């Protein structure tokens, strides 16, 4: 093992997770030289910069999973990090609402999961008490998570990058990784027009995690199938009708949480996102298509197996993509006073959803370790919430491999 302070470690990916890993490396191993390689011309250009800014408290994740463990720790680390660096962090709270008695079984199961995960301050309220927390919300019962928060993940990512550079590291933009070759004692990485030699490499590729995983010698599975999520912004006259967040009870068959209302730290109120197949991993226009991305999705047997099982849900989501009225019909079940005339289409995000060959969706975080390369193959929500804790976990693996 190379002594502390003598190594050069490459990190592929300039989203919040790659930057958190880079920062954890320079904190834990003083003197280590970290080089972050980001293919875009700015940090946090994809999932980090296109999400709803929610800091999750851990309601949804299977007890004992990496998601449950790292979300709980990550939330605390992130809260403290934002306080230390004067970054926005608002515990505006969340209501998860069951609209009628038909949802009781799923609602009860969610409550059991949340309590097993130790969600702080969690309480169950009946329909009459919903209005005390969110006066314009309606439902049969709700779970209130007062410590669910919102933040600015792009600002967090930039600060992490500044810490890496202050410790002597480099953050290289417009540096897409096109080749990785192992050699005795290290790894050669071609990024843009340059070739870098690293003692170790960590890959946090997000939407490109499967391609990069294969590039560093990993298997084809799981494959990333990108999903797009569209947001609606609520007009100023009705932005104050929701104080914090209002969510539906999620369907446990899917990793998506359903259309919900979320306040933003910069002001305003958003509705969304929905979830529909994306035809590009890189572009954010409503009609964006990248033939290579689409071809990769269609060539994966797991996509077709997943689609055969859930095509009805796909049709429902498509109606929301095509019609604002259909999109808001679901949201109005929870906040009836905000309708299709009260919103405007705004941003769009992409989610990197890992899918196995058999069509099953990969729910938990997945990190592969092989020799001198550590590759994060699946890190969907709550990866931003968990980023500082995931970074600890990844660096633990890096250090164990170095022993």
Dist. CA 126–CA 129, nearest whole Å: 6
Write down the pLDDT at residue 139.
Answer: 97
Dist. CA 362–CA 356, nearest whole Å: 7
- Contact by Cβ (8 Å): 254, 276: no
8-48+154-222+364-402, what's its fold? FAD/NAD(P)-binding domain (3.50.50)
DSSP-assigned letters across all residues of 264-283:
-TTS-EEEE---EE-S-SS-
Residue extents of the structural domains in the chain: 8-48+154-222+364-402, 94-146, 223-361
Write down the pLDDT at residue 2.
Answer: 38
Distance of alpha carbon 233 from its chain centroid, rounded?
20
- C-alpha distances (whole Å) from 399 to each of 146, 200, 288, 289, 313 are 37, 10, 41, 40, 43
Q: State the number of CA atoms in the 13 A half-sphere of 336 facing the CB.
A: 5
Write down the pLDDT at residue 311.
Answer: 80
Write down the pLDDT at residue 401.
Answer: 85
Give this prediction's pTM.
Answer: 0.95
Q: State the number of CA atoms in the 13 A half-sphere of 327 facing the CB.
A: 27
Burial class (CB in 10 A: 0-12, 13-18, 19+), 24: buried
CATH architecture of 223-361: 2-Layer Sandwich (3.30)
Write down the pLDDT at residue 1.
Answer: 33
Write down the pLDDT at residue 288.
Answer: 84
Contacts (Cβ under 8 Å, ≥6 apart) of 240: 269
Write down the pLDDT at residue 255.
Answer: 63
Average pLDDT per consecutive 10 residues, the chain (403 residues; last block may be shorter): 66 98 96 96 96 95 97 98 98 97 95 98 96 97 98 98 97 97 95 96 97 93 93 97 96 78 95 91 83 95 93 82 91 97 93 94 93 95 97 96 77
Write down the pLDDT at residue 4.
Answer: 43
Contacts (Cβ under 8 Å, ≥6 apart) of 249: 96, 97, 98, 103, 106, 107, 110, 258
Write down the pLDDT at residue 93.
Answer: 98
Structural Rg of the chain based on CA atoms: 21
Q: Which helix (H) or strand (E) holds 80?
A: helix 66-84
Dist. CA 68–CA 60, nearest whole Å: 8
């Amino acid at each position: 093992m190379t002594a502390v302070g003598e190594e050069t470690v490459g990190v592929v990916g300039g989203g919040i997770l790659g930057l958190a890993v880079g920062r954890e490396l320079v904190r834990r191993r003083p003197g280590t030289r970290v080089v972050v390689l980001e293919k875009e011309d700015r940090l946090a250009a994809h999932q980090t910069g296109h999400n709803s800014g929610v800091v999750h408290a851990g309601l949804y994740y299977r007890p004992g999973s990496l998601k449950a463990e790292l979300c709980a720790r990550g939330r605390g680390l992130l809260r403290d990090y934002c306080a230390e660096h004067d970054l926005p962090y608002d515990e505006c709270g969340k209501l998860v609402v069951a609209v009628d008695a038909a949802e009781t079984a799923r609602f009860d199961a969610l409550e059991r999961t949340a309590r097993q995960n130790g969600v702080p301050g969690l309480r169950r309220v009946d329909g009459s008490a919903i209005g005390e927390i969110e006066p314009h919300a309606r439902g049969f019962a709700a779970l209130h998570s007062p410590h669910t928060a919102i933040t600015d993940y792009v600002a967090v990512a930039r600060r992490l990058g500044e810490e890496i550079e202050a410790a002597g590291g480099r953050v290289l933009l417009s540096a897409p990784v096109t080749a990785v070759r192992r050699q005795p004692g290290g790894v050669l990485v071609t990024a843009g027009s340059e070739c870098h030699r690293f003692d170790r490499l960590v890959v946090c590729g997000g939407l490109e995690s499967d391609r990069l995983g294969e590039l560093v010698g990993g298997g084809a599975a799981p494959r990333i199938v990108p999903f797009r999520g569209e947001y609606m912004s609520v007009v100023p006259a009705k932005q104050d009708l929701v104080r914090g967040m209002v969510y539906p009870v999620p369907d446990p068959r899917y990793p998506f949480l359903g259309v919900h209302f979320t306040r933003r730290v910069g002001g305003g109120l958003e509705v969304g996102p929905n979830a529909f197949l994306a035809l590009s991993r890189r572009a954010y226009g409503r009609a964006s298509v990248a033939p290579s991305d689409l071809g990769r999705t269609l060539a994966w047997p797991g996509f077709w197996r997943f689609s055969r099982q859930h095509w009805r849900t796909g049709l429902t989501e498509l109606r929301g993509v095509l019609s604002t009225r259909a999109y808001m019909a679901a949201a109005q079940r929870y906040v009836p006073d905000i309708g299709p005339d009260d919103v405007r289409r705004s941003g769009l995000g992409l989610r990197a959803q890992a899918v196995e060959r058999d069509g099953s969706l990969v729910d938990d975080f997945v990190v592969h370790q092989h020799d001198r390369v550590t590759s994060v193959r699946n890190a969907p929500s709550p990866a931003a919430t968990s980023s500082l804790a995931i970074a600890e976990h990844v660096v633990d693996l890096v250090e164990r491999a170095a022993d």
